[in-house]
Chain A
Amino acid sequence: MSAEALRTALFWLFAALSLALAWSVVGNRRLLRAAAALMGVLGCSAGFYALLGFGFLAGVQVLVYVGGIVVLLVFLVMLTRTQALLEDEPTPWRHNVGVVAALAFFATNLWALAGLPDAPVVGPALGGDTRAIGRALLDVGATGYVLPFELVSVLLLAALVGGIAVARKVDPASQSAEADHG
């Protein structure tokens, strides 16, 4: 089996797997399972990245996304004590709206795709070069990303502070006063 054939096979494997898991993410009535399925989808995406030759991205995907963010989501499921609950099925109306919206979106994408010439997706390019990503992130030139990069750090800081401010324990006295005025 040639390398190209292996890549094709892996692609279709990941594609099938991620679609199936994605279905579970949106459809599973048990949230914890949905979160686990999301973990799988993200893992498949890491596989995609690797297939495209972006090894560093694949690593980040696994370490940060799967290992960090989704674990946070799992915590969230547990903190809100919904892990044992069976979520209600969506009402038919909701279900229909969701289906129509998703299909409309997909159809639009297909239409856009039809206007796009197909092109072979070649193997590893410069994307595998972690140094290139680092340089691009800190490049102050016209094609660099230093400003968004810094903005993202501010965003993360703001999210951190905001998260603490929102979830901080409020002492009962001021909370009751707040309730009186609210």
Chain B
Amino acid sequence: MTCDHSAIVQHAWVIPALPLLSFALVGLVLRPLNARLAGAVAAAAVALSAALGWWLAFDYLQFAPPAEPLPTLIPWQVEWLRFQDGLRIDAGTLLDPASVLLVVVVTTVSALVHVYSLAYMKGEPGYGRYFAVLNLFTFSMLGLVLAPNLVQMFVCWELVGASSFFLIGFWYDRPAAVAASKKAFVVTRFADLGLLLAILLLGQAAFDVRTQLGASAGDSQALDFAFLGRADVLAALAHQAPVLGGMTALTLGCLLLFVGGAGKSAMFPLHIWLPDAMEGPTPVSALIHAATMVVAGVYLVARAFPLLAAADGVLTVVLAVGTFTALFAAAIGCTQDDLKRVLAFSTLSQLGYMMLALGTCGGGDPAGRSAALFHLFTHAFFKALLFLGAGAVLHAAHTGDVWHLGGLRRKMPLTHALFLLATLAIAGIWPLSGFFSKDEVLAAALHGGHPLVFAVGLGVAGLTAFYMARVYLLVFWGEPRREASAHVHEAPLTMVLPMGALAVLAAVAGFVPVSRWVALPGTAEHAGIDWLVAGPATAAALAGFGAAGWLYGGDLGRSDAAVARLGRLYGALRHKFWIDELYLWVARKVMFRLVAAPIAWFDRMVVDGTMHGVGLLTRLCGAGVQAAQTGQAQAYAAWALAGGLAVVGLLWAAGRAG
């Protein structure tokens, strides 16, 4: 499986290598020299990467006639760490439909965001730094997507987390940004611990299985996805003895794996970092916190799907968490005032949608996995477009508070049109992309035997349409409510063009037969649009639009009345169910006081005390020796003589002993 590939398939590693090179070049050389040049080089490198990504996709699709499943290839890999035979970690590029799809999404959105940032970040003091980290992020995300084993994925996983940390805290002189970056880092680290434990647990279990298999294991390595996806391996893993609480290593490992994925994809209850991450520059939110990094959790679950499907009940957990997050975040999104925060909760909700789709596969039909990846694909485009549109608004009006904005459609006609398109796409209006992918997700829920989930999905579709129409109307219609929004101007061309490109993609992405490409063997074919699903979904979306239009389209007094009617529920939603406060309370009152404080005491008294004791001893010894350091040459001569005589004495003693 190595010889007859086209150049780009053979050398797919170039795609992540370009941003890495550019990161080094921009970060080390160009950044201090010339910020403009640094930005241009960074954008050019990623644009080239994107071109190669599309080329790769086209070449890859040539592989098989559409009837056949597309092959899984590892055209390039090098040995990286060798623990022992069967536990070797390679660095390489894994090409299968899912990873090629993600390569296209990541490079495309990243390239457009780079171009957009050229104008958006103009005049910022950290211009070069921004582009360097953005490049690093692109590299890490591509490395994650192309990882042929869990360890490379984990390393890149941490790297995207670090890039995200740097970019959320890009304006490190703003306390809110610093706090947000810390929060994102701590929460995702917490979840990453789950992933690490999962890797250790699954690695050990799979290695045992590999040892049992003996010769039939071949050259496969325990942590390779290829090995973990084999039917005989999965069967052996499922029949291992329970390790903890009646769960096998497989089940426990998959649960922990999902904890990791849930942290990165901001699933409830680890969602709290994503809304705060909006403190970063808006293009970063578009790229990292909407289109790419946050879908890493979904991708991880999709990548490790055979494992999760083989483990008891894990997919049910995925389904429950995904469904709840979708509904919960959509409801909160209806009450937020900040444009970017609404979009952040929308992202949470849509990620919940993807997880939900993955979770519906418990019945054995992996159609939900295809749906999840399809929704990931379309969501990346329209959500990035929404964020870039929000960025254009922020850039012009310097505020994201929807109650300060208003009437922007006349001043920013292009942005308005693009934002409207994205709004329709996310709400799922035919023929825009969201319609198709949402349809598939809901169809997977319905046909997978989860009517309740289907109903919730419909409700979320309605809420999505409602909150998007709400912010759209408040921002672009009516009259300017504050001075700031009265004197806005259209975004520059460098910002509008990437938005236009994303709009084209958001419009047509639904016609790309992604779900057929990424389908696993055994997926039921379903042709065309299932109007049993699409009909109610479209109706829900239109209902959401109608409600928003009635409440926010004209007299805003109606919305105030509605708020008053909802009373306590509205307050709870607006405060995001006080989950941040709850966590803070737990952290301060429980963890700090009961766990951290005793540890700190131990550290200060015992650990530091030991070190201080050692230091004191050293100082005392030093003081003793210091007496000999008189600066008197004669004293030194005496010591030298004594030393010489001591050596002679030793020789004498040695001579006697010998």
**A/B: CB atoms within 8 Å of each other:** yes
Q: Decide: B641 and A101 in contact? CB cutoff 8 A.
A: yes
Q: Decide: B645 and A108 in contact? CB cutoff 8 A.
A: yes
Q: Decide: B645 and A104 in contact? CB cutoff 8 A.
A: yes
**Interface membership of A97, Cβ < 8 A:** yes
1/0 contact string of B628-648 vs chain A (CB within 8 Å): 000000000010011001001
Nearest A residue to B655 via CB reads: A115
Contacts of B641 in A (CB 8 A): 101, 104-105
The docked-state distance in angstroms from the alpha carbon of A108 to that of B645 is 7
Task: Give residues of chain A (82-104) contacting chain B, Cβ–Cβ below 8 Å.
Answer: 97, 101, 104
The docked-state distance in angstroms from the alpha carbon of A108 to that of B643 is 13
Contacts of A104 in B (CB 8 A): 641, 645
Q: Decide: B645 and A111 in contact? CB cutoff 8 A.
A: no
Contacts of A112 in B (CB 8 A): 648
1/0 contact string of B598-642 vs chain A (CB within 8 Å): 000000000000000000000000000000000000000010011
Shortest distance between the CB of B653 and any CB in chain A (Å): 12
Q: Decide: B638 and A97 in contact? CB cutoff 8 A.
A: yes
1/0 contact string of B90-119 vs chain A (CB within 8 Å): 000000000000000000000000000000
Q: Decide: B642 and A101 in contact? CB cutoff 8 A.
A: yes
- How many chain A residues touch B (Cβ–Cβ < 8 Å)? 7
The docked-state distance in angstroms from the alpha carbon of A101 to that of B638 is 7
Given the interface contacts A104-B645, A105-B645, does A111 sit within 8 Å of B638 by beta carbon?
A: no
A97, A101, A108: which contacts B648 (Cβ < 8 A)?
A108
**Interface membership of B652, Cβ < 8 A:** yes
Shortest distance between the CB of B12 and any CB in chain A (Å): 64
Shortest distance between the CB of B124 and any CB in chain A (Å): 45
The docked-state distance in angstroms from the alpha carbon of A97 to that of B641 is 11
Contacts of A105 in B (CB 8 A): 641, 645
B interface, size bucket: under 10
Shortest distance between the CB of B640 and any CB in chain A (Å): 10
The docked-state distance in angstroms from the alpha carbon of A104 to that of B638 is 11
Contacts of B648 in A (CB 8 A): 108, 112
The docked-state distance in angstroms from the alpha carbon of A111 to that of B648 is 10
Contacts of B645 in A (CB 8 A): 104-105, 108
The docked-state distance in angstroms from the alpha carbon of A111 to that of B642 is 16
Contacts of A108 in B (CB 8 A): 645, 648
Shortest distance between the CB of A114 and any CB in chain B (Å): 11
Shortest distance between the CB of B607 and any CB in chain A (Å): 44
Contacts of A97 in B (CB 8 A): 638
Contacts of A101 in B (CB 8 A): 638, 641-642
Shortest distance between the CB of B303 and any CB in chain A (Å): 67
The docked-state distance in angstroms from the alpha carbon of A108 to that of B638 is 15
The docked-state distance in angstroms from the alpha carbon of A105 to that of B645 is 7
The docked-state distance in angstroms from the alpha carbon of A20 to that of B357 is 109
Nearest B residue to A98 via CB reads: B638
Contacts of B638 in A (CB 8 A): 97, 101
Nearest A residue to B637 via CB reads: A101
Contacts of A111 in B (CB 8 A): 652
Shortest distance between the CB of B632 and any CB in chain A (Å): 10
Contacts of B652 in A (CB 8 A): 111
Shortest distance between the CB of B649 and any CB in chain A (Å): 8
The docked-state distance in angstroms from the alpha carbon of A112 to that of B641 is 16
1/0 contact string of A106-127 vs chain B (CB within 8 Å): 0010011000000000000000
The docked-state distance in angstroms from the alpha carbon of A101 to that of B645 is 9
The docked-state distance in angstroms from the alpha carbon of A44 to that of B641 is 27
The docked-state distance in angstroms from the alpha carbon of A96 to that of B648 is 22
Shortest distance between the CB of B563 and any CB in chain A (Å): 75
The docked-state distance in angstroms from the alpha carbon of A105 to that of B641 is 8
Shortest distance between the CB of A94 and any CB in chain B (Å): 8
Shortest distance between the CB of B643 and any CB in chain A (Å): 12
Nearest B residue to A111 via CB reads: B652
The docked-state distance in angstroms from the alpha carbon of A112 to that of B648 is 9
The docked-state distance in angstroms from the alpha carbon of A111 to that of B653 is 13
Task: Give residues of chain B (534-562) contacting chain A, Cβ–Cβ below 8 Å.
Answer: none
The docked-state distance in angstroms from the alpha carbon of A105 to that of B640 is 12
The docked-state distance in angstroms from the alpha carbon of A105 to that of B643 is 11
9 more contacts with CB within 8 A, not counting A101-B641, A104-B641, are A97-B638, A101-B638, A101-B642, A104-B645, A105-B641, A105-B645, A108-B648, A111-B652, A112-B648
Instruction: Pick the 9 closest A-B CB pairs, nearest first.
Output: A108-B648, A101-B641, A104-B645, A108-B645, A101-B638, A97-B638, A105-B641, A105-B645, A111-B652
12 A–B pairs (Cβ distance < 8 Å), ordered by A: A97-B638, A101-B638, A101-B641, A101-B642, A104-B641, A104-B645, A105-B641, A105-B645, A108-B645, A108-B648, A111-B652, A112-B648
